[in-house]
Amino acid sequence: MDFSEEIRSKAKELLESGTVDCVIGYERATDGVGARPLFVYQPNDIDRLIFDQTCTHNLTKYLLNRKDKATAIVVKPCDSRAINLLINESQIQRDKVSIIGVVCPGVVKAGLDNTSGELQDTCRMCQQHTPVLYDFLVGELGLEPDVPDTYPDVTGMEDKSAGERRAFWEEQFSRCIRCYACRQVCPGCYCLECFVERLDPTWVGIRIAPGENEVWNTMRAFHLAGRCIDCNECERVCPVNIPLSLLNRKLGKEVEELFKFQAGIDAETPMPFSTFDKEEKLGISE
Amino acid sequence: MKPENPLLPYLSTLQELIDLTPDVKLFRLELNDPDIRESFDYKPGQFVFVSAFGVGESPFGITSVAHRKAGVDVAIRRVGTVTNALHQLEPGATVGVRGPFGNYFPLDEYKGKNIFIIGGGIGFAPLRPIITTILDYREDYGDLVIINGARSPQDLVFAPEFDTWAASPKTKLELTVDAGDEKWTGRVALIPSVVSELKLSPQNAIAVTCGPPIMIHFTLIELRKLGFADNQIITTLEGKMKCGLGKCARCNVGDKYVCKDGPVFSMEQISQLIEQF
Amino acid sequence: MSEFISKQNLLTWLGQLIGERNLVAPTRVDDLLLFRKIDRVEDIVFDFDNTTLSPKEWFFPSSETLFYVDRKDGQTELMPAAIEKETAIFGIRPCDAQGMTMNDYPFLEEPADDLYRQHRDITALIGLACITACPECFCTSMGGGPHDTANVDILLTEVTDGYIVQVLTDKGKALLPDNLLATADVSSPLAPVLSEIPSEGIAEKMRQAFDEPFWDRLADRCIHCNICSYVCPTCYCFDVRDYTDKERIERVRSWESCQSPGFTRIAGGHDPRSTKGSRLRQRFSHKLLYFPNQFGALGCIGCGRCVRACPVNIDIREIIQDVQQLGVKSEA
């Protein structure tokens, strides 16, 4: 799949008409194989834009750096959910963003080129091949997911004993170097002062050690419960291969079962954990 | 006698805490170890890290003079977590002291010159030891003009010493506030306008200034208008610091470390820095 | 004729080292390759390009206690941390060893950082010359080379059935097991040829490019995580915090990165490097301009880890090329 021409054509139109000051899309990375984000401010950079199955990045985080500026952005379906999240949480304004949504069959594994056909694990489980929100659509509608089980990775883990799961996660968190790339890339993580930066009180501190790593990773996952839009960026960027998506998707599965809610499908439905509804029961084991 | 490890503090005892303003206290510290106390030598402009153990450590300009052999004084403004913890200590408490770090005002080069000390708020802390030295060695220096400003009368720092300063020969003390109160009968003006009003002469003079960035910015403009060359204007830079040794790589302005190559810089040196803050 | 050790004898020697000191070597951790303390020779990986994290963590750990303070009965006692056990790092690449020499400049400059000095004193480096190179490697453009002997105590170069052994320091000599070495008529393979990056004169070009909007544009895509600084063998910024646990206080230093938002923010809120562009420029200026100005050598040793690890492909090789070109444009 290669939609580079369509993206360039739409970007050119939006820039030259003055509708936007900047188009956030993708270009080829220095290895000649993968992609990287590209900010286009001038029409003469339009030809650098590409779109194919190597375009894995979720670009929506960058919208938070351009809150008061008119921006066009290229989004895959998972990315488009982040835009709904950010609108719902009053972080960006709908009328400042021109959304170029792309119908996405999946992104290939890191290091492989567009022709390889070998999809990332997360894309194999994807339920959403069409963007949930867009101003312009690139690609043909009608691509349906053929994955019956939405959380095979999570149920696989749930089947393990508590002891096995604890040992697994202790091993994973021991490798964490607290680079915070997971937080920095995540569109849901936008607190001006993250809880790890607090000194008074110190929730986590700066020490890089298994106990602190566990608190960091699990608390971040809880802050994303009911908010994570499942773009897998956190896991992709982690330099020590911690399966962060598994944690976030576990909580996503719980929220879906309890509240029949998935983040980012629209921008209006009240979010479960930022809504207080007197009618809700507060039982712990029902 | 420095410890082998420059990241280890000297245990010190807080002798006295004196309120200078609603948010500034003067801390009188004494190093516990007698050998270290004896050999702890520092010059005006240098700084120490003071630790509130268990909370953290922050850098403060030393506001006393070593030649008086009366301990180490720092003036601390309560502005964050560490300074808050320090403010809550009682005399007798144990703190840590690391240092002295940094370069210093080259007072030997100022001998025979007229000195203009221009300071605002807590920025006056590193300037006080220059005044103390000049007063202790009065004959070595020319005229001394002290401009001490603050937001309000109660924010003027080192008020207990104003009479001593004003009474010294060939010395003028000019206090000023941004806004007075019912009792204030003194000058109400911003520091840069006082500089211009006094028509300070650059002839055989050095101007040393320290305070909030905006005050320095406009004071600089006035000094240059009066004809001061950039190598006659001295100031101190600050930066977030963790080691004081140029090793944690945090306080640099371009390729200069504020903790090692500073904190004292002339405007000439600052204008040559590649990074301009 | 060269000093030679057979593969079998090398394994025996490494087994001996495990017995007498800490042996640190590349080993598989899940699907990563990391330098870890080795308990069994079988866990050592010999055939690899390079590790994900650099071996700097064995001299400058990601977290390290500086000292403890105990308060009991009104008395305060300060106890510095100390390192004791002798260590050997096997399998360090010449680029990473050069990286440690670069770190010596700031850490050992008077007054020397005591903990770092202790780590360096008790650790021997048994280097492994590079037979192949990663696509991202460019050490030859940064003052080093795949067979460089300058910064290790011993260098092993793989040949048929074993390794050529070059002993370079007394520390290396003391480590060697004489009865496991032989002489052999083998010559070293040619070093792999790496792509050339135009590093000549880069410091001056960086100075000229300092105020260019280039840095803001590059920073558009930077997410300001800490990955580049943490995987880098020569990044050494650290943060210091105190921790209290009942009567014991611990002062800890940990890795930090000049890329983090708030790196230069002081109490009261002022932040001189609040923009993304100024922070991004700081890292490359430190590596390619300030470090050479201060210490006479480039701060980057061309290992390519940051290139592999950066989530948005900020590529120091590309930056060096672009900055060289910027100079050309402004002259024109």
State the complex-level ipTM. 0.94
Q: Which of B86-95, B134-143, C79-88, C247-256 has the lowest mean pLDDT?
A: C79-88
d(CA A174, CA C209): 41
Q: Which helix (H) or strand (E) holds A212?
A: helix A210-223
pLDDT of residue B1: 40
C318:A239 CB<8 A: no
CA-wise closest residue to C146 among C138, C196, C154, C124: C138
CA-wise closest residue to A134 among A54, A53, A79, A62: A79
d(CA A185, CA A245): 13
How big is chain C, counted in residues? Answer: 332
Which residues of chain C from 126 to 185 reach within 8 Å of chain B, CB to CB?
Answer: none
Which residues of chain A from 18 to 57 reach within 8 Å of chain C, CB to CB?
Answer: 29-31, 34, 36-39, 57
How do residues C182-237 score in pLDDT, each as one tens digit? 999 999 999 999 999 999 999 999 999 999 999 999 999 999 999 999 999 999 99
CB pairs under 8 A between A and B: 3
pLDDT of residue C331: 47
**Share of residues in chain C with pLDDT > 90 (%):** 86
| Option in A181, A185, A209 nearest C63 (CB) | A209
- Search chain B and give the residue with CA nearest A199: B81
CA-wise closest residue to B55 among C263, C256, A205, C260: A205
Q: Does the structure show a pLDDT above 60 at C95?
A: yes
pLDDT of residue A285: 56
Cβ atoms A157, A130 nearer than 8 A: no
Residue position matching structure tokens 């260098």: C155
pLDDT of residue B167: 96
- HEC string of chain B equals CCCCCCCCCEEEEEEEEEEEECCEEEEEEEECCHHHHHHCCCCCCCEEEEEECCCEEEEEEECCCHHHCCCEEEEEECCCHHHHHHHCCCCCCEEEEEEEECCCCCHHHHCCCEEEEEEEHHHHCCCHHHHHHHHHCHHHCCCEEEEEEECCHHHCCCHHHHHHHHHCCCEEEEEEECCCCCCCCCEECCHHHHHHHHCCCCCCEEEEEECCHHHHHHHHHHHHHCCCCHHHEEEECCCCCCCCCCCCCCCEECCEECCCCCCEEEHHHHHCCCCCC
How big is chain A, counted in residues? Answer: 286
C-alpha dihedral sign at A238, A241, A245, A248: negative
Residue from A198, A199, A202, A207 whose CB has the most chain B CBs within 10 Å, to mutate: A199
Cβ-count burial B97-130 (b if 16+ within 10 Å, e if not) = bbbbbbbbbebeebeebbbbbbbbbbbbbbbbbb
pLDDT of residue C168: 96
Transcribe C269-330 into DSSP letters.
S--TT-SHHHHHHHHHHIIIIIHHHHHSS-S-----HHHHH-TT---HHHHHHHHHHHHHHH
Transcribe C15-58 into DSSP letters.
HHHHHHSEEEEEEEETTEEEEEE-SSGGGB--S-S--SS-GGGG
Q: Which residues of C touch B94 (CB under 8 A)?
A: 71, 76
| Average of per-residue pLDDT across C49-65 | 96
Residue position matching structure tokens 């960026």: A233
Q: Which of B104-108, B109-113, C79-83, C119-123 has the lowest mean pLDDT?
A: C79-83
C311:A236 CB<8 A: yes
Question: How far B35 CA sits from the closest chain C CA (Å)?
Answer: 17
CA-wise closest residue to C134 among C199, C192, C188, C69: C192
What backbone phi and psi angles, to 5 degrees, belong to C150?
-65, -30
Q: Which residues pair with C124 in a beta bridge?
A: C88
CA distances from residue A86 to A26, A182, A221, A259 in whole angstroms, order as listed: 21, 17, 18, 20
Residue B60 structure tokens: 């403060």
Q: What is the pLDDT along chain B (277 residues), one digit of tens a residue?
A: 445 789 999 999 999 999 999 999 999 999 999 999 999 999 999 999 999 999 999 999 999 999 988 899 999 999 999 999 999 999 999 999 999 999 999 999 999 999 999 999 999 999 999 999 999 999 999 999 999 999 999 999 999 999 999 999 999 999 999 999 999 999 999 999 999 999 999 999 999 999 998 999 999 999 999 999 999 999 999 999 999 999 999 999 999 999 999 999 999 999 999 998 8
| Option in A177, A185, A233 nearest C230 (CB) | A177
Whether B56 has its CB under 8 Å from any CB of chain A: the answer is yes
Residue position matching structure tokens 């938070």: A64
Task: Give residues with Cβ within 8 angstroms of B72, minimum separation 6.
Answer: B12, B28, B29, B30, B31, B40, B42, B48, B62, B64, B97
* Number of Cβ within a 10 Å radius of residue A63: 21
Give Cα A32 distance to the centre of its chain: 24
Cβ-count burial C295-326 (b if 16+ within 10 Å, e if not) = eebbbbbbbbbbbbbbbbbbbbbebbbebbeb
* Number of Cβ within a 10 Å radius of residue C75: 9
CA-wise closest residue to A72 among A42, A102, A99: A99
C106:B238 CB<8 A: no
Which residues of chain C from 254 to 283 reach within 8 Å of chain B, CB to CB?
Answer: 256, 258, 263-268, 270, 272, 278, 282
d(CA C227, CA A239): 7
Q: What is the DSSP letter of C261?
A: T
| Option in C30, C243, C313 nearest A205 (CB) | C243
pLDDT of residue A281: 67
Residue A43 structure tokens: 């029409």
What backbone phi and psi angles, to 5 degrees, belong to B222?
-65, -40
CB pairs under 8 A between A and C: 101
Q: Show the low-confidence residues of chain A (pLDDT under 70).
A: 146, 281-286
B82:C66 CB<8 A: no
HSE-CB at B30 with a 13 A cutoff on CA atoms is 12
Question: How far B203 CA sits from the closest chain C CA (Å)?
Answer: 34
Q: Which residues of C touch A197 (CB under 8 A)?
A: 262
A181:C239 CB<8 A: no
Residue C6 structure tokens: 């057979």
d(CA A182, CA B182): 56
d(CA C306, CA C268): 33
- Search chain B and give the residue with CA nearest C245: B54
- Search chain C and give the residue with CA nearest B247: C106
SS3 A125: coil
B245:C113 CB<8 A: yes
How do residues C158-173 score in pLDDT, each as one tens digit? 999 999 999 999 999 9
Task: Give residues with Cβ within 8 angstroms of B199, minimum separation 6.
Answer: B226
Q: Which residues of B touch A199 (CB under 8 A)?
A: 56, 81
SS3 C215: helix
CA-wise closest residue to C93 among C31, C43, C158: C158
Q: Which residues of B touch A200 (CB under 8 A)?
A: 81
Question: How far A126 CA sits from the closest chain B CA (Å)?
Answer: 44
Which residues of chain A from 180 to 239 reach within 8 Å of chain B, CB to CB?
Answer: 199-200
| Option in C78, C236, C264 nearest B11 (CB) | C78
Cβ atoms B149, B179 nearer than 8 A: no
Give Cα C78 distance to the centre of its chain: 31
Cβ atoms A198, A149 nearer than 8 A: no
C80:B5 CB<8 A: yes
Q: Which residues of C touch A237 (CB under 8 A)?
A: 223, 225, 227, 311
Whether C78 has its CB under 8 Å from any CB of chain A: the answer is no
Question: How far B80 CA sits from the closest chain A CA (Å)?
Answer: 10
- Which one-letter amino acid corresponds to residue B232? Q
Q: What is the DSSP letter of A109?
A: P
Strand order in the sheet with C32-37: C32-37, C22-29, C87-92, C123-128, C154-159, C162-167, C2-6, C182-184
Q: Does the structure show a pLDDT above 80 at C309?
A: yes
Question: How far B221 CA sits from the closest chain C CA (Å)?
Answer: 21
| Option in B5, B94, B274 nearest C76 (CB) | B94
| Average of per-residue pLDDT across C74-88 | 85
- Which one-letter amino acid corresponds to residue B246? G
Residue C148 binned pLDDT confidence (cut-offs 50, 70, 90) = very high
CA-wise closest residue to A78 among A261, A213, A263, A219: A263
pLDDT of residue C327: 67
SS3 A74: strand
Residue C332 binned pLDDT confidence (cut-offs 50, 70, 90) = very low
Residue B246 structure tokens: 């140029």
CA distances from residue C315 to A112, C112, C304 in whole angstroms, order as listed: 19, 33, 9
CA-wise closest residue to C236 among C327, C328, C102, C331: C102
Cβ atoms C25, C89 nearer than 8 A: yes
Give Cα A119 distance to the centre of its chain: 17
Looking at chain B, which subunits does it touch, using at least 3 CB pairs closer than 8 Å as the criterion? A, C
pLDDT of residue C329: 59
Question: How far C153 CA sits from the closest chain B CA (Å)?
Answer: 26
pLDDT of residue A23: 98
